[in-house]
Structures are given as C-alpha cells and as structure tokens.
Structure 1
Amino acid sequence: MIEKRPIIALDFPSFDEVKTFLAQFPEDEKLYVKIGMELYYACGSEIVKYVKDLGHSVFLDLKLHDIPNTVKSAMKVLAKLGVDMTNVHAAGGVEMMKAAREGFGQEGKLIAVTQLTSTSEEQMHSDQNIQTSLAESVIHYAQKTLEAGLDGVVCSAHEVEAIKSATSADFICLTPGIRPSGSQTGDQKRVMTPAQARAIGSNYIVVGRPITQANDPVAAYKAIYAEWNQG
C-alpha cells in the first residue's frame, strides 16, 4: 500500500500559524499532515481535533518511549483522538511495542522509529554505544517491530529495501528527510528525493520545509505530489 499524498510536516510553533498555512489550500484538498512534539505540546489535543474536523488525515509523531503500561495508557488516549497513525521508539523493546499496539487498537497505523534520520553511524557508536553498523541496527529494530505486531517503521529511504527484505513486502516504511532536487538538506543527514523514495519502495514520505517554507506552499505541494506519484 502506497499513500499517494506526501505527508506535510506541520512544524509550526502555534495554532494560528497552522490555521494560516492550511487556509491556503482549497477546502476540498484533503491533506495528510504530521503533528509533532512542538505543535502538540504547544496546542494539545485541540490541534488534532481541528485538523481532523477539516477532513485531513493525521500522523501524530510523538515517538512514545516509556514503560509498557504507561505507553499502553497513553495510546488509549491517542486512539480516542482518531489519529490515523502514530509511533513509538523501537528502542523501548518488544514488550513496550506490544503494549502500545494493545492500547492503540487496530483502527490506525502504529509504527516505530528505528534510528532517527539525523543520526549518523558515528553518533550511534559514540552516543548510544551501539557498535554494529547503522544498517544492522535499523534492521534489528525493524524485525523487533514486526515481532511486536506493529505496522511498520520510520526509516531513511536508503534503508527501505533492506528492511523489506528482512521483514515483509507489506511492512510499512515511512521515510522522512525527503527533499526535492536542489533543496537544502537542513539537519537531515540521510535524504532522498520523492522520485527516488518511490522507486526504492517507500510507502509514505514526509516533507516539511520544502512545502511549509516555500513562497507558494500549494504549488510546492503539488510539485512534490506529482514527483512522488510519477509512473
């Protein structure tokens, strides 16, 4: 399953900025958006309700990581918001991920973060004391995510083929760090264009600043949509 709509990262600090941004799109243009920590912590569940009431799909990107019972309870709350997808850190372990699945239920997609796309192999070695290769770490986390009964992982597009080979063709790979050709990479170290991500097998892509900071966000979105769906 491939989601045709690129997920727009609503990385804004305030409710008003989200309203202003979304108002630029036609009412019948139903988007898929990501609400991350900054926005959710600033606005709370009201931002999710607002976006859902507009008819948009929501990926709530909170990356839960705590003891299993706490994550299960938190997921029950998030499920009531009607979010279409949310996530946890795979580093929390299989028991925690199973608890998350139980709490969130089966209505929405539940995925796990393997290694952040801002993490280099050198940082993983020095900061996390994981002495395998970055690829081996990502694949290990993906296999544990599948074992726990989750739908897929957040990963770099460069890791998609290896993850699907190590899990299954139906295992979701959501890839952030997507940048149109010629754009700045920012703080992402492992990036790819929409066309490259599609060719390599990504199921979802997340795009932030190339859309939200564009002079014409609607035109930028349409261009990325077209590139993601080409062929």
Structure 2
Amino acid sequence: MPFEVSSLPLADGLIVALDLFDVEKALLLARRLRQYVSWFKVGSQLFLCGGPKVVEEIRSLGAQVFLDLKFHDIPATVERAVRACVQMEVGFLTVHALGGGRMLRAASEAAAGSKTRILAVTVLTSLEEADLSEVGLSGSLSERVCALAALAGDCGIRGIVCSARELSSLRKSDIRPEVVVTPGIRLTQRKGDDQRRTVSPREAFALGATHIVIGRPVLEAEDPVNLVRNLLQEGSGLA
C-alpha cells in the first residue's frame, strides 16, 4: 500500500550499509533507496574505493552519511583524522572505545561544534566472550560493553555502537547514550554468517536502539527497494 516515508517512525532510524567494492553500484542503490532511507553507511570497503567523493555523492542526494572507519590510533592522529572527516560533514563517525580516554577526548574535541557526531564502537558484533579472552580482556561481553560505553560518555562522546543484546545491560547500569547504533541486524540468521550477536530490527528498537544498520539482507535481496519498504511498514505497524 502507498505511504509517505516521512510518516514512518523507523525511517530516520534505518541505516543501510553500502558495503560494496563497486562505487557506481553503491551509488545506484543509494539513489533507488533514498525515497525510503535517510542514512547510508560508508565503511572502509567502499571508502577505500570511492574516497571522499562517494561521501559527497551520497550527501548530494540529501541523505546523511554514517562514515564507519573505526579510528583507533594515537590521540593526535585520531584528532587529525576526525577533523578531516568533519570537513566532509558526515553525520556519524566511528572511533574504537578501546583506544582509551585520551584518544576518545581528542576525537570528541575535534568534532566539537560541527555537524558530525562521534560514535564509540564498544565490542564488535562478530566477537564472542572467547574472542575477548583471546586478546586478554576479562569479564563478560555485557561488562565490557558497559565499561567502554561509560568511558566514552565520560570523554564527551554521547553515541555508541553495540549489539542490541547488550542494551538491557546498559539500562540496568544506568548508561544512557543519546545515540545507540546497533549493527548485526538480520531478518533471518544465515549459515556461515560472521555476525554472532544478531537480532531482528523490531527487537533492536524495542530494546532501545535509536538506529539500526542493515547491510547484507538489503545488498543480497532480489528487490532491495521492496525489502526496505516492507521492513519500514512492518516496523511501523502498517503491514
């Protein structure tokens, strides 16, 4: 049934990940989905192929860009990198919370007063507790996520990236970032998927996510436009 995207509660919270090597294919998909999607994620894969130009092209559509480069370096390097991204006027930009307090503060200060919101990546959704132990991090996944989210907040970063499965633990710990982006969103769990801590779109929003990232289900769909339309309708109670 026809609908106006502006009337759908999920429209501003859905981020489509353009995780492609083919820049033209990525831009074509963005153009096709722009009527329904306000945000597109540009990660390392696409950025290495298209550079700042691909960000400019997506922004020219009137869309917001989530530049997911996950900076993790010495504070001075991250500060300069963030300043360069701010010049592109991206909406969201990621840094790794594991970079520590000085790095997080440098990133926050570099973006202060700009249109760019810094998001601190807590624990990647591909990781499980055994993976954390392997690199010497103790405690449960939820404990690590909560600790890193709290650190980010203390450093002036009001947004985080984490699995929706840890959102209840954040609430119990009274950690309430202004922006919570959850990747690892799947419509159905697939064999061989490298994402481990996945949830459905409806579950993620119910748990408190402000934004969800969907990549592979859209990129691999025979009709990505119809998939996104149906997702928005279902999530908004129109289906």
- Please, what TM-score do these two structures have when normalized by structure 1? 0.92
Match of 2:190 in 1: 184
Which residue is equivalent to 1:21? Answer: 29
Partners of 2:150 and 2:175 within 8 A in 1: no
Aligned equivalents of 1:80 and 1:56: distance in 2? 16
Structure 2, unaligned runs of 5 or more? 1-8
1:123 and 2:131 correspond: yes
User: In structure 1, how many angstroms separate the alpha carbons of the residues matched to 2:37 and 2:197?
Assistant: 29
Question: 5+ residue gaps in structure 1?
Answer: none
Does the Cα contact within 8 Å between 2:125 and 2:183 map onto a contact in 1? Answer: yes
Residue number in structure 2 paired with 1:197:
204
Question: Greater CA deviation, 141-150 or 221-230?
Answer: 221-230
Q: Distance between the aligned counterparts of 1:229 and 1:192, measured in 2?
A: 17
Moved over 4 A (4+): 27-30
Deviation, 1:29, is 4.3
1:33 has 2:35 as partner: no
SS in structure 1 of the partner of residue 194 of structure 2: coil
Q: RMSD of the TM alignment (CA)? A: 2.0
How many residues matched?
228
8 A contact 2:11–2:36 mirrored in 1: no
Identity of aligned residues (%): 33
- The answer on whether the counterparts of 1:58 and 1:83 sit within 8 Å (CA) in structure 2 is yes
Match of 1:173 among 172, 175, 180: 180
Question: Normalization by structure 2: what TM-score?
Answer: 0.89
Q: Is 183-192 or 205-214 further displaced after alignment?
A: 183-192
CA–CA distance in structure 2, aligned partners of residues 120 and 95 of structure 1: 27
Asked whether the 8 Å contact 1:4–1:228 carries over to 2, the reply is no
Matches within 5 A, 1:1-231: 4-25=12-33, 28-106=35-113, 107-126=115-134, 128-180=135-187, 182-184=188-190, 186-230=193-237
8 A contact 1:60–1:85 mirrored in 2: yes
CA distance in 1, matches of 2:51, 2:219: 21
1:132 to partner: Cα distance: 1.2
